Amino acid sequence: MFPAWMLETMDAILLQVLNGLDKGGAYALIALGLTLIFGTLGVVNFAHGALFMLGAFCAVTLKEILSWEMVTIDPTQKTAWGTPLEVRTPYIEAWLGDAGSFILDYSVPFSILFAIPIMLVIGIVMERGLIKHFYKRPHVEQILVTFGLAIVLQEIVKSVFGANPIPQPAPDMLSGSADIGAFFGLPANTVVYPYWRMVYLAFSGVVIAGVFAFLQFTTFGMVVRAGMADRETVGLLGIDIDRRFTIVFGLAAVVAGLAGVMYTPILSPDYHMGMDFLVLSFVVVVVGGMGSLGGAVAAGFLLGILQSFASMNEVKSIFPGIDQIIIYLIAVVILLVRPRGLMGRKGVMEG
């Protein structure tokens, strides 16, 4: 039907679009919590990357707990350095047999349940203990105190888990890749994509939709949106807006944490991953427009797809190094063309 070269380019383009969507989903999810905090609380939270990292380490912790091992010493065998060899079997396998192995295999998805309460508590404690006192302080001070907090959090994680990345495999069933091309009637094995990345894309869609629905269709969400528009008036109406804002912060922490949990099979988590994503998530939020949830999502997908295309060999051969700077280049262009990002409101964070 089509000449072979056209099919090949189409495959390549289809793959890059898919990859861009997948990246975009991740970016949007990571930026979502950040822009939620901006929009509602007006706080520049540099510890957002740390929340993402803490989420990832929730998954690590759960896996460590699940794989607590029964240590039996085998005196007949010795290690290379001459101590008796320790034989280790995870308790959960010893007790639950196959069900235990299943739980161990699915530890990443199970971590979602584990991470929600933990991240909620972390978020609420952070807001009540620290952020609350910074609502009225200048942004520079908010940046500095949350940056300090981010360093402290990551150093604590480092002293517990070490600096090396810790692998978190996806469940066996989802660790391969799917032949998407065949689904669309293309020849077999031309367009394949890992299951887990598609799970992540679907997951980010669900979470983003959930957050939007929550803000749009619940009374709580309505009050929060009203508070975003005019905090004082809402307070004057006798609504305890502070308490709601605390919960919003907790929610943002949960979103960041879940983004982290689900990302662990793609990127083996280490203590520094929060800082690595910090700049990126800020760029996404600013390109989208400060405080605009829709903007953050749109910017996430835009940056994801453009980054994906900029990394193609054909593009790189015309503009060497373009893939290194594409994110920043887009940020500059968008901000110069649209002063407040894609969907930013006037007067927000422009002081």
Partner 1 sequence: MVKAFKRHSDTILMLVFIAAVLAGPVILEPVGAGYPDLLQKFAIYGIFALGFNILLGLTGYLSFGHAAFLGVGSYTTVWTFKLLSMNPLPALVFSILAAGLFSLLIGWISLRRTGIYFSILTLAFAQMCYNLAYSVLTPITNGETGLQLSQSDPRVLDTAFGRDYGAVLPASDLFGIEMTGYPGFYFCGVLLIICFYIALRIFRSPFGLMLLGVKSNQNRMNYTGLNTRPYALAAFVISGMYAGLAGGLLAVTDPLAGAERMQWTASGEVVLMTILGGAGTLLGPVIGAGVIKYAENIFSAFNEGTLQSAFSFLPEPLQHIAVSITGLFVGEGWHLTLGMLFMVIVIFLPGGLMEGVNRIINLFRRSSGGGGEGTAETAPQPAE
Partner 2 sequence: MIKRNISRRGLMKGAAVAGVGLAAPQFFIRGAYAYTNEPKGGSVILGFNVPQTGAYADEGADELRAYQLAVEHLNGEGDGGMLNTFSSKALKGSGVLGKKVEFVTGDTQTKSDAARASAKRMIEKDGAVMITGGSSSGVAIAVQGLCQEAGVIFMAGLTHSNDTTGKDKRANGFRHFFNTEMSGAALGPVLKNAYGTDRKAYHLTADYTWGWSQEGSIKKYTEQLGWETTAAVRTPLGAGDFSQYITPVLNSGADVLVLNHYGKDMVNSLTQAVQFGLRDKQVNGKDFAIIVPLYSRLMAQGAGENVKGILGSTNWHWSLQDEGSVAFVKSFGQKYGFPPSQAAHTCYCQALLYADAAERAGTFMPSEVGKALEGFTFDGLGNGPTEYRASDHQCFKDVLVVRGKENPTSNYDLLEVVEVTPRAQVEYPAEMLGGELGPYNNGA
Q: Which spans of this chain sit near partner 1 (rule: CB under 8 A)?
A: 44, 130, 133, 137-141, 143-145, 147-152, 154-156, 159, 275, 279, 282-283, 286, 290, 320-321, 324-325, 328-329, 331-332, 335-336, 339-341, 349-351
Nearer to partner 2, 65 or 213 (CB): 65
* Residue 185: contacted member of partner 1, partner 2, none (CB under 5 to 8 Å, by partner type): none
Question: Residue 52 in contact with residue 30, Cβ under 8 Å?
Answer: yes
Asked if 129 interacts with partner 2 (CB under 8 A), we say no
Q: Show the CA angle centred on residue 276, arms to residues 274 and 39, nearest 5°.
A: 65
Q: Which stretch binds partner 2 (CB under 8 A): 56-64, 172-180, 240-248, 334-342?
A: 172-180
Closest by alpha carbon to 169, among 146, 151, 196? 196
Residue (25 or 288) nearer to partner 1, CB:
288
Which partner in partner 2, partner 1, none is near 151 (CB below 5 to 8 A by kind)?
partner 1
* Per-residue binding letters, 198-237, with partner 2 (x by CB under 8 A): ----------------------------------------
Max CA distance (Å), the chain: 76
Under rule CB under 8 A, which residues in 254-273 are in contact with partner 2?
265-268, 270, 272-273
Query: What CA–CA distance (Å, rounded) separates 114 from 96?
Result: 20
Interacting residue with partner 2 among 90, 135, 182, 194 (CB under 8 A): 194
**CA 181 vs CA 1, 137, 186, 329: distances in Å:** 16, 53, 5, 32
Binding partner of residue 328 among partner 1, partner 2, none, CB cut-off 5 to 8 Å per kind:
partner 1
Strands in 187-235 per DSSP E: 192-194
According to the binding rule CB under 8 A, does residue 323 interact with partner 2? yes
Q: Does 170 bind partner 2 (CB under 8 A)?
A: yes
Give backbone dihedrals phi and psi of 83, rounded to 5 degrees, phi first.
-90, 160
- Residue/partner pairs of 323-330 with CB below 8 Å, 24 or more apart: 327/280, 327/283, 327/303, 328/283, 330/287, 330/302, 330/303, 330/306
Residue 134 tokens read as 């910074």
3-class DSSP state of 341: coil
Which structure tokens are listed for 53? 């990292």
Residues that bind partner 2 (CB under 8 A): 8, 11-12, 15-16, 18-20, 22-23, 26, 79-83, 158, 162-167, 169-170, 175-177, 189-194, 196-197, 265-268, 270, 272-273, 276-277, 307-308, 311-313, 316, 321, 323-324
